[in-house]
Amino acid sequence: MDEPAEKPRVLAMNCEWPATKGGIPAFNRSLVIALAEAGFPTACLVNAPTREDVEEAQAAGVTMIAAERTPAGPSMMLDSEKVRAFRPQLVIGHDRFTGPAAWVQVHRYHPEAALALIMHIAPSELERFKGAPGATARTEERERITRRIAADAQIVAAVGPRLRRYAEDLLEDGSGGRPVLQLDPGLGPTTARRRSVPPKRQVLVLGRTDDRELKGLDIAARAVATLPGPPGPPVGLLVRGAAPAECDALHRSLVGLSGLARERLDVRPFTTHQGELRRDLARALVCVMPSRVEGFGLVALDAIAAGTPLLASAKSGVAELLRNRLGRLADPMVVDIVDDPETDVRVWRAAIDRVVADPEAAFGHAEEVRRRLSTGLTWHRTATALVAAVPHGERVWCRDGCLC
């Protein structure tokens, strides 16, 4: 097929621009910036951007569009003059959060555009760990919404290999289902120098702590509390990700659960401030992600980009990605989870102890992992793979830049 004379215009839809909740907003932000850097005219439709959001997006080459407002607040379901003026040719929705609004934009207002649905979560895996009643009903409803949007999407994508398999199973119809594009996130900014072993022996858990059991905070706290104690100061645990008003309560809860001395546990509020996150990673001996299940786990790639040793749950998409990309080099980073508390604590304690016992080897391994992944895992590859996935047999970009 001939290359289009102009690159297609891409509209991504997300509830907010700043990644104040991590996860999907962080993914969307990196994706649209990479699309703009790759030369695609890119806009992002959000509910209520601030002036700082607009200016920051503009500096990255992204057009920020505020959703039209109703008496009840902004709604991305409404027609928008600014979106019409942008004339999107590919509209991106994220899972059940903005997937329905993306469907509306394409099927009500921009039928000439292609629809891309990116899947970020697996409700059938996550809901059982959240402790709220009605897990089965929520799973059924959320999967129904996803299947309905996917049926009309030109592209169905999922983040990483674990979620790709989940999506393929969800959309299976007995005749081969439909293809699902695996989108592997890129590494964040890296430094040119190898990280040095920090003076303080500190284990880091990075990410929102709303679902304590799901994220394995109990495993991390108990594993650190029962480390055998090599010569030197005791190992501490830094948890970055609590709601500001809940830091002290989480500290008390984890101390009571694990028996960890109070001064060895430091609980800090969730932040998206890159300087603070880089500082946390720079002073961590190891970053751990002991999730009992995790669709992907973007924080693991942040640790790798920083050159910080990583231990990731074997039941995470990022662990599968690391094994697929690195083979046996990934083995020291991937730690089993069997959802038996005593077994999991014992296994994770041993994995952390290996890093504590020989930090120089762990940091050398982390640097080799970063070097091997830095060219293959890039947001440029993620962005261009998504745009290239519009099926040629349905809608293609012609030389005049339109979809037909």
pLDDT above 90 as % of the chain: 81
Residue ranges of alpha helices (H) inside 105-246 are 123-126, 135-152, 160-170, 212-215, 217-225
- What are 279's two structure tokens? 């500082």
Instruction: Report which of residues 339 and 176 the model is more confident about.
Output: 339
d(CA 202, CA 160): 29
Residue showing tokens 């961590």: 284
Q: Please say if the pLDDT value at position 201 is more than 70.
A: yes
Helices (H) and strands (E) in the chain, counts: 16, 15
Is the torsion defined by CA of 22, 23, 25, 31 positive or negative?
A: positive
CA angle 336-342-348, nearest 5°? 40
Give 210's pLDDT tier (boundaries 50, 70, 90).
confident
DSSP code of 245?
G
* Ramachandran region, residue 4 (left: φ > 0; alpha: ψ -120 to 50; beta: rest): beta
Give 271's pLDDT tier (boundaries 50, 70, 90).
confident
pLDDT above 70 as % of the chain: 93
Residues 6+ apart with CB under 8 A from 226: 345, 349
Mean pLDDT, residues 124-150: 90
Q: Which helix (H) or strand (E) holds 241?
A: strand 236-242
Give 19's pLDDT tier (boundaries 50, 70, 90).
low
Give 188's pLDDT tier (boundaries 50, 70, 90).
confident
> How many alpha carbons lie under 13 Å from residue 121 in its C-beta half-sphere?
16
Residue 269: burial class (beta carbons within 10 Å; 0-12, 13-18, 19+)? middle
pLDDT in tens, 123-136: 999 888 877 788 89
d(CA 224, CA 116): 43
d(CA 273, CA 205): 16
- What are 324's two structure tokens? 């697929």
Residue 201: burial class (beta carbons within 10 Å; 0-12, 13-18, 19+)? buried
Mean pLDDT, residues 298-315: 96
C-alpha torsion angle, residues 207, 212, 217, 218 (rounded to 10): 180
**pTM reported for the whole predicted model:** 0.92
> How many alpha carbons lie under 13 Å from residue 36 in its C-beta half-sphere?
19
Predicted pLDDT at 101: 97
Is the torsion defined by CA of 291, 297, 299, 303 positive or negative?
A: positive
Q: Which of 115, 111, 9, 44 is nearest to 401 (CA)?
A: 9
Strand partners, 311: 288
